[in-house]
Amino acid sequence: MDEVYDVIVLGTGLTECILSGLLSVAGKKVLHMDRNDYYGADSASLNLTQLYRKFRSGQEPPADLGRDRDYAVDLIPKFIIASGELTKILVHTDVTRYLEFKQIAGSFVYRDGRISKVPSTELEAVKSPLMGIFEKRRAKKFFEFLQGWKDDDPATHQGLDLDKDTMKKVYEHFGLEPGTQDFIGHAMALYLDDDYITKPARPTYDRVVLYTSSMSRYGKSPYIYPLYGLGELPQSFARLSAIYGGTYMLDKPIDEIVTDSAGLFVGVTSGGETVKAKQVIGDPSYFGAGKEAEGGKVRVVEESKVVRAICFLKHPIPGTENSDSVQIIIPQNQVNRRNDIYIAMVSSTHNVCAKDVYIAIVSTIVETDKPELEIVAGLNLLGPIQEKFVSITSLYAPTADGRSDNIFITRSYDATSHFETVVDDVHDVYKRVTGETLVVKKREVEVQE
Amino acid sequence: MSKQYQFKLVLLGESAVGKSSLVLRFVKDQFDDYRESTIGAAFLTQTVTLDDQSTVKFEIWDTAGQERYKSLAPMYYRNANCAVVVYDITQTSSLEKARTWIRELQRQADPSIVIALCGNKTDLSARRQVSQEEARKYAEEEGLMWGETSAKTGEGVSEIFTAIAKKLPLTAPQASRAGSSARPAAGRAGVDLSQQSTPQAGGDQCNC
């Protein structure tokens, strides 16, 4: 460990692994370490042994769950939006060669006590019980407006300005009911709360367009999912990094982040040895998250908490047409909350569990001091639950941008149902670390025959 | 038409036993005395033609150095049809390491995986520390294939890969063997991310 590296990366979560891969491809000498003996950190997929070690220390997994190695249980419930930014990076870096993807079979939304399919086409929208007949006509006009919008053609604007007018004004222009607004803002634009309504309409427009273009890409839902679980994603980027010379060390507890008298990053101490590098990137858990501040330096702050319940079922979720995988969104207004409740379910079709087992994760941003009660509306939709693993996770963000001390800290995985914010963080950190904007485009593919 | 099969082959073994050199000899018939650790190749492919004219295409995964600090990802073993575990005949310790890798394969990989134990560097047989008898006996006990090679001279290299190709269960054409390859190919159940989207009329592109 006496070599000097350009960048040391701490934690093998998806954000860190994408960065590690991109930096190695860009020619940086990268050392990537993780305190765990597995890849993925907070974005890992665990087998049964690892899952029980984490949540039920000292307890063996029940035999009726089947073989340990058949399981890859995600710790964070997220899906990949087909036309989103993560897909672009997957294609750009060619790590798709290590991965296989399947569609998520359905996207549902909770309204008035029951769940309905989120319509993916106009035909489905017309049949959907989500809206009455007159509301359907209004909604149709709204979607035609979105589809027809051209920035440089005022005739398509209907007197509205996406950059100045609020989404509230747009909803009012089309006379959409609150329930329809819930559906558009939460099930399609995937906002977690209603703050977007009083802001300019442009981002909501972008998100609805992203949703519909993703939906049209493969047909059943806007989401895709990697076989063998989300933990395959960090592994594939770690391999990319390794192929471009990145050095990997798992099972390495980090004793200390070493800085000089001016507070600048010097190196990382592990097992009594210090490795030096110009810069360090790492997830918040390596920089004091959840611990008392040492030496007065607070590098990360808690922004919010998320409650997640990983539930093993022996049946598909009732009312989802026996789908092998679904997302269900419970908009906050429907259950008198400030934040939505999400359900993400996958099954043996995705090679993440034994046959006839279904893994649903119910999650939301914590609003009270009884987090588990806040997800009851979601748990109630699942039917009988075989096993339930509840966790309350703090979400951390860095207090500084790293430019002054060469310590670049990533953000915790948030409560959104997809990876778009993860990619935002990748772009942001990449720019601060390299001083260059990451340009995501298709590389020349190196075909070796 | 003769049949075509495709299999994922993973390489394992201690650093510097010649894993990459072995593949370079097999795939490109080249050897480089001062070869640095592997950089830049996700995997290499090479095709072997069998006596009945059917062809076996190997998609060969190198460790990319991730074996060095016990950091090989489970993804590496995933859907591997065969493995070549390499040791250096001039280093007794490398056979010990090979035993560890074989145990790891038996734990992590598919139970039907075909494993070949390969003693490399026969060009250095003057410095031999691992006898053929010892290695062969161990391979027999564990039900492994066994052979010796020299990536430098090419001795035994194509033989060991051909022997693996013959041993693989050629039961179904590759097109229907979902999951045995890591690359999107026709006939697989998954979705291909690289494909262009089929846009609906109107706003088809995300413009964010």
Q: Compute CA distances A300 → A55, A283, A394, A412, whole Å.
A: 25, 10, 11, 10
Cα–Cα distance for residue pair B78/B8, rounded to 1 Å:
9
- A91 min Cα distance to partner chain B (Å): 6
Q: Which residues of A touch B200 (CB under 8 A)?
A: 212-213, 216
Higher pLDDT, residue A362 or A298: A362
Q: Which amino acid is at B178?
A: A
Q: Which residues pair with A276 in a beta bridge?
A: A4, A267
Q: What's the average model confidence in pLDDT over A402-427? A: 95
The answer to whether the CB atoms of A148 and B70 lie below 8 A apart is: no
- pLDDT band at B175; cut points 50, 70, 90: very low
- Sheet strands (E) in A314-386: 326-330, 341-347, 358-365
Among A283, A226, A213, A22, which residue's Cα sits nearest to residue A104?
A226
The percent of residues in chain A predicted with pLDDT above 90, rounded, is 83
The answer to whether the CB atoms of A243 and B38 lie below 8 A apart is: yes
Cα–Cα distance for residue pair A178/B7, rounded to 1 Å:
55
The DSSP string of B50-119 is -TTS-EEEEEEEP-TTTTTTT---HHHHTT--EEEEEEETT-HHHHHHHHHHHHHHHHHS-TT-EEEEEE
Q: Which CATH number fits domain A121-218: 1.10.10.10, 3.30.70.20, 3.30.2130.10, 1.10.405.10?
A: 1.10.405.10
Torsion sign across C-alpha atoms B172, B176, B179, B185: positive
Q: Which fold has domain A4-44+231-302+395-434?
A: FAD/NAD(P)-binding domain (3.50.50)
Nearest CA in chain B to A98: B182
The answer to whether the CB atoms of A239 and B200 lie below 8 A apart is: no
Looking at chain A from residue 126 to 165, which residues have their Cβ under 8 Å from any Cβ of chain B? 146-149
Among A254, A232, A276, A32, which residue's Cα sits nearest to residue B66?
A32
Cα–Cα distance for residue pair B22/B31, rounded to 1 Å:
8
Q: Which amino acid is at B135?
A: A
Cα–Cα distance for residue pair A421/A25, rounded to 1 Å:
22
Question: What tokens were used for A130?
Answer: 């989500």
Chain-centroid distance, C-alpha B164: 10
Cα–Cα distance for residue pair A54/A308, rounded to 1 Å:
14
Cα–Cα distance for residue pair B43/B11, rounded to 1 Å:
11
Measured in Å, how far apart are chain B's first and last C-alpha atoms?
49
Digit-coded pLDDT (tens) for B136-164: 999 999 999 999 999 999 999 999 999 99
The answer to whether the CB atoms of A448 and B44 lie below 8 A apart is: yes
Nearest CA in chain A to B201: A147
- Whether A429 contacts A302, CB under 8 Å: no
Q: Per-residue pLDDT for B172 more than 80? A: no
Q: If you average pLDDT over every residue of chain A, what do you get?
A: 93
The answer to whether the CB atoms of B191 and A103 lie below 8 A apart is: yes
pLDDT of B195 reads 62
Residues of B with CB under 8 A from a CB of A: 37-45, 64-66, 68-71, 73-76, 78, 108, 179, 182-184, 188-191, 193-194, 197-208
**Least confident span in A89-93, A205-209, B104-108, B158-162:** B104-108
Question: What tokens were used for A114?
Answer: 């029951």
**Least confident span in A205-219, A283-297, B83-97, B100-114:** A283-297
Question: What tokens were used for A428?
Answer: 């942001």
The DSSP string of A62-93 is PGGG--GGG--EESS--BEETTSHHHHHHHHH
Digit-coded pLDDT (tens) for B181-207: 433 333 345 777 766 544 443 333 333
Chain B interface disruption, residue of A1, A89, A213, A447, most B CBs within 10 A: A213
Higher pLDDT, residue A213 or A385: A385
Q: What's the average model confidence in pLDDT over A339-360? A: 96
DSSP state letter for A40: -
- pLDDT band at B37; cut points 50, 70, 90: low
Cα–Cα distance for residue pair A387/A83, rounded to 1 Å:
34
- pLDDT band at B67; cut points 50, 70, 90: confident
Helix (H) or strand (E) holding A182: helix A178-182
- pLDDT band at B176; cut points 50, 70, 90: very low
pLDDT of A219 reads 80
The DSSP string of B167-194 is HS---S-GGG-TTSSSS--TT-SSB-TT
Among A206, A124, A187, which residue's Cα sits nearest to residue A327?
A187
Cα–Cα distance for residue pair B122/A66, rounded to 1 Å:
45
Q: Which residues pair with A81 in a beta bridge?
A: A223
pLDDT of B194 reads 67
pLDDT of A128 reads 80
Looking at chain A from residue 67 to 86, which residues have their Cβ under 8 Å from any Cβ of chain B? 69, 82-84
- A406 min Cα distance to partner chain B (Å): 26
Cα–Cα distance for residue pair B147/A179, rounded to 1 Å:
70
Chain A interface disruption, residue of B66, B195, B204, most A CBs within 10 A: B66
Q: What's the average model confidence in pLDDT over A110-131? A: 81
- Helix, coil or strand: residue B37: coil
DSSP state letter for A353: S
The DSSP string of A142-162 is HHHHHHH--TT-GGGSTT--T
- Whether A308 contacts A379, CB under 8 Å: no
pLDDT of A296 reads 63
Cα–Cα distance for residue pair A418/A416, rounded to 1 Å:
6
CATH class for the domain made up of B4-176? alpha beta
Question: What tokens were used for A84?
Answer: 């989103």
b/e code A272-307 from CB counts within 10 Å (16+ = b) = eeebbbbbbbbbbbbbbbeeeeeeeeebbeeebebb
Strands across the sheet with A326-330, in order?
A114-117, A106-111, A326-330, A341-347, A358-365, A300-313, A387-398
The answer to whether the CB atoms of B197 and A102 lie below 8 A apart is: no
pLDDT of A309 reads 98
- Whether A172 contacts A198, CB under 8 Å: no
Other Cβ atoms less than 10 A from the Cβ of B38: the count is 20
Residue A198, exposed/middle/buried by CB under 10 A (0-12, 13-18, 19+)? exposed
In the block, which residue shows the tokens 């890591």? Answer: B182
**Least confident span in A117-131, A174-188, A398-412:** A117-131
The interface predicted TM-score (ipTM) is: 0.83
pLDDT of B44 reads 86
Q: What's the average model confidence in pLDDT over A294-303? A: 83
The answer to whether the CB atoms of A243 and B69 lie below 8 A apart is: no
Q: Residues near B96 by Cβ (< 8 Å), separated by ≥ 6?
A: none
Size of interface A-B (CB pairs under 8 A): 134
Q: What's the average model confidence in pLDDT over B10-25? A: 92
Cα–Cα distance for residue pair B121/B21, rounded to 1 Å:
10
pLDDT of A295 reads 63
- Whether B82 contacts B164, CB under 8 Å: yes
So what's the architecture of A57-105+304-394 in CATH? 2-Layer Sandwich (3.30)
Query: φ and ψ at A128, to 5 degrees?
Result: -65, 135
Residue A426, exposed/middle/buried by CB under 10 A (0-12, 13-18, 19+)? buried
Domains of chain A by residue range: 4-44+231-302+395-434, 57-105+304-394, 121-218
Digit-coded pLDDT (tens) for A37-57: 999 999 999 999 999 999 999
pLDDT of B208 reads 40
pLDDT of A218 reads 83
pLDDT of A2 reads 64
